[in-house]
Structure 1
Amino acid sequence: MSLGELEKELTETKSILNNVRASRSAFSAAQTDNKHINCFGPFTSDKLITYQHVFINLANDYSVDTVCRADQASCGCCLMQKMMQRMESFFNMTVEELSKNLMNSKMALDDMRASRSAFSVSLHDNKNDDCFGPFTDDRVIRYQHVFLNLGDGYDAQTGTFTAPRSGVYSLAVTIYSDGVIGPGAHLAVNSQVVATLQEKKSQDLDDSATAVVSVKLKAGDKVAVNLPKGSLICDRQSYLNTFTGFLLYLC
């Protein structure tokens, strides 16, 4: 659920809650709770009946205050004060709940942002052909041209992607060479090979290979592409050697 959807749902919930709270008003009272008969009146003028025993007073709209009972005008003022107190109480409660829900929404948003991890890089951005290799030992391919590095998990200085969160990732590698030596590469997680790409030099001028895998990574796992000894990759601004990865889901 996006932040906009969370805020919309929160607003609708608060509106319903406030309507329900505002509509809760009920009271029931008796003149007295004495075991024996207790009379009120007669008087020489009209008197406000003072119901002393309160069975229920939901929302505190009924008041047994002495001043309120003695004077109708004072009673109206009393009820207004009660309503104001109730509104203030609801307002404070609503602010607290809004703050709590806002914090939860921020946490959800931060979690969504933290889980966004994707990168896509190529060997370089040179206009002319530029090859990497061959070497007498295995070398980590340092992809220098960065198309995308969402979450900053890829380090161009080392050629390594570090998983920011534990989850299932999709990883893809494409290698290419138009030289006299065929291209090759190893996709490795924590120096352990998970996929091998190899294309033997054939009669055509272009040799390439692609591997796409889904792997479960732990936070902090290192992913890199190694060039095996004796292999060669070549590229130009066509971006023929690429390394791409993204988080599919957390686990």
Structure 2
Amino acid sequence: MRATACTLFLLSLLWDSVRAENSISSLQMAAVSWEGELPCRKWDCECTFKNQRGCCCAATELQEAEDQIFQRVMELSACIFQLGDSIHEVIGGVRVAFTASMSQRKTCFGPFTRNSPIPYDVITLNHGSGYNPTLGTFTAPRSGLYSFALSVYSKVGGEGEKMYYKVQLMRNLEVVASTWEDNREDSEDSSTQTVLLSVEQGGQVYVELLSGRQLCGNVEGLNTFSGSLVYPSLP
């Protein structure tokens, strides 16, 4: 389309130079005798008239278009890197995770006259320092979605003794999950719970044993409490 426009424009100029002669031969002669710069803007008019089938008559414009596209791609690439840096700033630099277990006990934990947090005092992981082994409590260093898991194990001393425990996962003062056993048929038992919880910064999550219940025969690593930040809440 541009080649045609360029040609027509030049032809109109040539036609003005041969106003009285309107034959094709006169027009051809005028084109051959034309002197001066060809008014084809950024197009190659020599190519347009003589070598249109064998060359690109718009090479200059195409080169400029290529340069503009390359510049735009570089700008988009820079934006992508900036976005990646922003995402890393929001979530990449935040590491919050912990795993703790009850140390081995010769006596039972409980029973107590009121609900009591379980002291998971053997820490194997505490990124972000959110878990306090003294209190047995995790305090969220920032708001977000967290994953928590707990495992419970208990063993009675002899045949006919009652397996009697109930453990519940707490978010602040709210019960969010629990597991229990109440029978005389099993001499030992275990159970697990895994939950996803939204926790505000400063919110506390812990595991407690209900009053009147007990955990016995604990071997280190069988009663555990763990958690990790899945993703933080956006500002």
Superposed pair shares fold, TM > 0.5 = yes
Aligned counterpart, 1:189 = 171
The offset of 1:101, in angstroms, is 1.0
CA–CA distance in 1 between the matches of 2:153 and 2:71? Answer: 62
CA–CA distance in 2 between the matches of 1:44 and 1:198? Answer: 103
CA–CA distance in 1 between the matches of 2:205 and 2:89? Answer: 25
User: Is the contact made by 1:170 and 1:214 (CA closer than 8 Å) also made in structure 2?
Assistant: yes
CA–CA distance in 2 between the matches of 1:43 and 1:63? Answer: 15
1:142 aligns with 2:93: no
RMSD of aligned C-alpha atoms?
A: 4.9
Query: Closer, same or farther in 2 for the Cα pair 1:38/1:159, shift >3 Å?
Result: farther
The offset of 1:100, in angstroms, is 0.3
User: Is the contact made by 2:164 and 2:181 (CA closer than 8 Å) also made in structure 1?
Assistant: yes
CA–CA distance in 1 between the matches of 2:209 and 2:171? Answer: 14
Aligned counterpart, 2:76 = 97
Residue 158 of structure 1 aligns with an amino acid whose one-letter code is L
Structure 1 counterpart SS, 2:200: coil
- Matching of residues 129-208 of structure 1 within 5 Å: 129=106, 131-149=108-126, 154-162=131-139, 164-167=142-145, 169=147, 171-178=149-156, 182-200=164-182, 202=184, 206-208=187-189
- Matching of residues 1-251 of structure 1 within 5 Å: 28-29=5-6, 30-31=8-9, 38-39=16-17, 42=30, 47=35, 50-52=38-40, 62=43, 89-108=68-87, 113=92, 119-124=98-103, 126=104, 129=106, 131-149=108-126, 154-162=131-139, 164-167=142-145, 169=147, 171-178=149-156, 182-200=164-182, 202=184, 206-212=187-193, 214=195, 216-220=197-201, 221-234=203-216, 235-237=218-220, 239-245=221-227
Unaligned regions of 5+ residues in structure 1, if any?
Answer: 1-25, 55-60, 65-78
The offset of 1:90, in angstroms, is 4.2
The offset of 1:226, in angstroms, is 1.2
User: Is the contact made by 2:91 and 2:231 (CA closer than 8 Å) also made in structure 1?
Assistant: no
Residue identity (%)? 22
User: Is the contact made by 1:140 and 1:227 (CA closer than 8 Å) also made in structure 2?
Assistant: yes
Which deviates the most, 146-155 or 228-237? Answer: 146-155
Over residues 58-115 of structure 1, what are the superposed CA-to-partner deviations in whole Å (9 max), with x where a residue is unaligned?
xxx5379xxxxxxxxxxxxxx9987876665444433221110112234445666479
Structure 1 counterpart SS, 2:81: helix
Query: Closer, same or farther in 2 for the Cα pair 1:219/1:115, shift >3 Å?
Result: farther
Bigger relative contact order (CA 8 A; separation at least 6): 2
User: Is the contact made by 1:167 and 1:218 (CA closer than 8 Å) also made in structure 2?
Assistant: yes
Over residues 111-152 of structure 1, what are the superposed CA-to-partner deviations in whole Å (9 max), with x where a residue is unaligned?
66479865443113x5x6465444443322231223455666
The offset of 1:182, in angstroms, is 4.5
CA–CA distance in 2 between the matches of 1:119 and 1:166? Answer: 15
Q: May I ask how many residue pairs the two structures share in their alignment? A: 202
Structure 2 counterpart SS, 1:137: coil
Over residues 151-195 of structure 1, what are the superposed CA-to-partner deviations in whole Å (9 max), with x where a residue is unaligned?
665443432234555447464341425568944422212212233
Residue 51 of structure 1 aligns with an amino acid whose one-letter code is P
The offset of 1:241, in angstroms, is 0.9
Residue 84 of structure 2 aligns with an amino acid whose one-letter code is S
